[in-house]
A and B are shown apart, each in its own frame.
Chain A
Amino acid sequence: MLARGLRVAAQITKRGLAAAAPAQSSTDQLRFTFASPDKSIFNNTVVKQVDVPTVAGIVGVLASHVPTIGVLKPGVVQVTDNEGQVSKYFVSSGTLSMNIDGSCQVLAEEAIKLEEIDEAAARQELESAQRAQNEGSEKDRAEAGIRVEVADALLKAVGGGH
């Protein structure tokens, strides 16, 4: 009898919370979606914290973060899930949005696990991009500059810092 009473009470409070959620700016759980065009790494999973490299700096997102949007810079996204496991992914560019309903989306153009980065290939890419930066039209130089930035960040990520 007591157990049933408790269960009913729990259900009532849960229903109460659900009704209040739209009124609040965000819930106390961070629902995280991390995807790239060809694969989805996290899909509305509940995690504890996400560190995202944006043009405005590294943004640490926890639950109930204020809504914001941002543009990603080449760098490492670090995801800490509820058990404390940390996973790191390198992203080349993309968008971040932390929404009013408490969901966070990091949509990267390319995302790769740090362990899978080929350091030699990254170094080669950096060298060829730096060479390309000195020749060509304004647009070519700008594109080469972007390649340099990405390759540089790749090497830094593989090197251990981020």
Chain B
Amino acid sequence: MLRAGTTKLATAAALPICEQQRGMATLKDISLRLKSVKNIQKITKSMKMVAAAKYAKAERDLKGARSYGVGAKAFFDNIDPKTEEAAGETKKKQLLVLITSDRGLCGAVHSSIAKEAKNILNHKAADVDYKLVTIGDKSKAALQRVFASTIALSGNEIGRTPPSFEDAAIAAQAILDSGIEFDEGTILFNKFKTVVSYQTSKLPILPLEAIKAKEALNTYDSVDDDVLQSYSEYSLAQLIYYAMKENATSEQSSRMTAMDGASKNAGEMIDKLTLAFNRTRQAVITRELIEIISGAACV
């Protein structure tokens, strides 16, 4: 069984060599390609190391950020318990905040957010109006072509440094300053599960008027408008911060696995090319020998 397998592999390896003699047979071509693939492997390996270091830091930060974010969410969970009946009716004006970053080569992290956003926008009811806030160039680029009119705000320079509360505060301030009116909002981000998996998740956000309209708010004591407004604005920043932190961790872990896969693929290509190089080299030597021998025979 094993012998049959190796002969199959040998013929498979031999076939491209026959074609190579018509196409890129020369030793120089193969060695050029080999050098470039080796360089690429070095680059992807170093990218993987960098991503691993950034991921370790991001995961440490996430521990603190998680209890912060879950705490911020608790108030909204309490005043707006998700019941089955309430889920059916969607409000007219919706806001979508997409958390991505500017940098690519990180697997499906950005495309999954863009896909979910496209899904929501394509399957919305006719009278529902969506406005998008894209944080990070990747989501903007993905949605620019078809949904450019829905993009209200976009942020860039994300992804170079780990997200801080200040960044989230800037984003929240921009949303509040822009005067976008919305009845309900959702933050789309990638929630970090493990090194190899993350999940695209949603965080609900409620603007001031919607919070005031919730009846559960009446059980809360001594809540005046000032306090409520400060609280809702601050909560927006808190939730955006939490989503940014989770997304950053997912992105770094995804980049790490993607670069690891790329390095492995490059390694395989190097092996195949090295084999091809050696065969070609031997073929060249054999040809030269034959020429010399037959030339000598002529003489």
Chain A contacts to B: CB under 8 angstroms? 25, 33, 35-40, 43-44, 55-56, 66-71, 94-95, 97, 99-101, 103, 105, 107, 109
The residue in B61, B68, B216, B227 that gathers the most chain A C-beta atoms within 10 A of its C-beta is B68
A114 to B245, CA, bound (A): 27
Interface size on B, residues (CB 8 A): 30
B241 partner, pick from A25, A37, A56, beta carbons under 8 A: A37
Contact call A37/B165, Cβ cutoff below 8 A = yes
Chain B contacts to A: CB under 8 angstroms? 61, 63-68, 70-72, 74-75, 78-79, 164-165, 216, 219-223, 227-228, 230-231, 234-235, 238, 241
Contact call A38/B223, Cβ cutoff below 8 A = no
Contact call A105/B65, Cβ cutoff below 8 A = no
A69 to B230, CA, bound (A): 10
A69 to B216, CA, bound (A): 13
Contact call B216/A38, Cβ cutoff below 8 A = no
Q: Collect the chain B residues with CB atoms within 8 Å of residue A101's CB.
A: 78
Given A35-B64, A67-B219, A70-B227, output 10 extra A-B contacts at Cβ < 8 Å: A33-B67, A37-B64, A37-B241, A38-B65, A67-B78, A69-B227, A71-B231, A95-B72, A95-B230, A101-B78
A55 to B225, CA, bound (A): 13
Contact call B64/A39, Cβ cutoff below 8 A = yes
**Count of A-B contacts with CB under 8 A?**
84
Contact call A109/B231, Cβ cutoff below 8 A = no
Q: Collect the chain B residues with CB atoms within 8 Å of residue A56's CB.
A: 222, 227
Label chain A's interface by main secondary structure.
Answer: strand
Contact call A66/B221, Cβ cutoff below 8 A = yes
Question: Least Cβ distance of A104 to chain B in Å?
Answer: 9
Q: Collect the chain B residues with CB atoms within 8 Å of residue A94's CB.
A: 234
Contact call A109/B221, Cβ cutoff below 8 A = no
Q: Collect the chain B residues with CB atoms within 8 Å of residue A68's CB.
A: 220-223
A40 partner, pick from B63, B216, B222, beta carbons under 8 A: B63
Question: Least Cβ distance of B12 to chain A in Å?
Answer: 54
A37 partner, pick from B65, B75, B222, beta carbons under 8 A: B65
